Amino acid sequence: MWPYHPELLARPVPRYTSFPTAAEFHYGVGNASFEAELDALKPGTPVSLYLHIPYCHEICWYCGCNTGAANKATRLASYLDALKAEIATLAARIGERAIVRRISFGGGSPNAIAPEEFEALTALLKRSFSAEGATLSIELDPRSYTPDWRARLREAGSPALASACRRSTRRRSVPSGESSRPS
């Protein structure tokens, strides 16, 4: 039996790792304040980039993420086009002033996109920002982690792969390839 910690339930904390957490969003932060923060970056300022891929090949029955099924190629293509436009907008705003120390991909599951799309995104980031040597982290769904993904991650410069394996039931791990539905 898992230990029960009622004191943890009494504290309002995020149960996921989005950047920033939902608790930090409010109406006082808008375009003007965001642009002012970007304009205030001094040369050499270390920054982290977070790219959100809000899709999964299969939705887990226990998932609380705001995600959708990656079952429509046009949906993914439109999202990736918008993401690339956002990268271009941000790069035009901060250019080489900031030094990108970390690039994190989360979601959903970033491996809902094709490995070559991931490779294209990381290449775009490295061309658009001062990001050489940045640490790369990615949250992956092990059910769709393929040898091609492994190779693309190595090519992208990911020396260590931190895979968030969200595949468990109450008492046993679910091997990759099995259904995520409870038995």
Task: Show the domain range for 150.
Answer: 45-168
113 is a domain residue: yes
CA 91/CA 131 separation, integer angstroms: 11
Q: What is the pLDDT of residue 127?
A: 92
Say yes or no to pLDDT of 121 above 90.
yes
Query: Residue 123 has which token pair?
Result: 């290449």
Q: What is the pLDDT of residue 170?
A: 34
- Is the Cα dihedral 152, 157, 160, 164 positive or negative? negative
Q: What is the pLDDT of residue 8?
A: 65
Q: Which residue has the higher pLDDT, 25 or 141?
A: 141
3 is a domain residue: no
As for how many domains the chain has, the answer is 1
CB 109 within 8 A of CB 144: yes
Q: Find where tokens 């109406």 sit.
A: 27
Give which of 172, 171, 117, 177 is closest to 141, Cα–Cα. Answer: 177
Say yes or no to pLDDT of 32 above 70.
yes
101 is a domain residue: yes
Q: What is the pLDDT of residue 151?
A: 87
CA 109/CA 53 separation, integer angstroms: 6
Say yes or no to pLDDT of 20 above 90.
no
Q: What is the mean pLDDT of residues 3-14?
A: 66
13 is a domain residue: no
139 is a domain residue: yes
Q: What is the pLDDT of residue 29?
A: 80
30 is a domain residue: no
| Residue 44: strand, helix, or coil | coil
Which residues does residue 171 pair with via DSSP β-bridges, in sequence order?
none
Q: Which residue has the higher pLDDT, 127 or 71?
A: 127
Q: What is the pLDDT of residue 117?
A: 92
| Residue 115: strand, helix, or coil | helix
25 is a domain residue: no
CB within 8 Å of 135: residues ≥ 6 apart: 101, 102, 103
Confidence of residue 179 (pLDDT cuts 50, 70, 90): very low
Q: What is the pLDDT of residue 95?
A: 80
Say yes or no to pLDDT of 172 above 50.
no
Say yes or no to pLDDT of 163 above 50.
no
Q: What is the mean pLDDT of residues 101-126?
A: 89
Q: What is the pLDDT of residue 79?
A: 93
Give which of 55, 37, 57, 62 is closest to 47, Cα–Cα. Answer: 37
Half-sphere exposure of 173 (CA within 13 A, CB side): 7
Q: What is the mean pLDDT of residues 52-79?
A: 79
160 is a domain residue: yes
Q: What is the DSSP letter of 164?
A: -
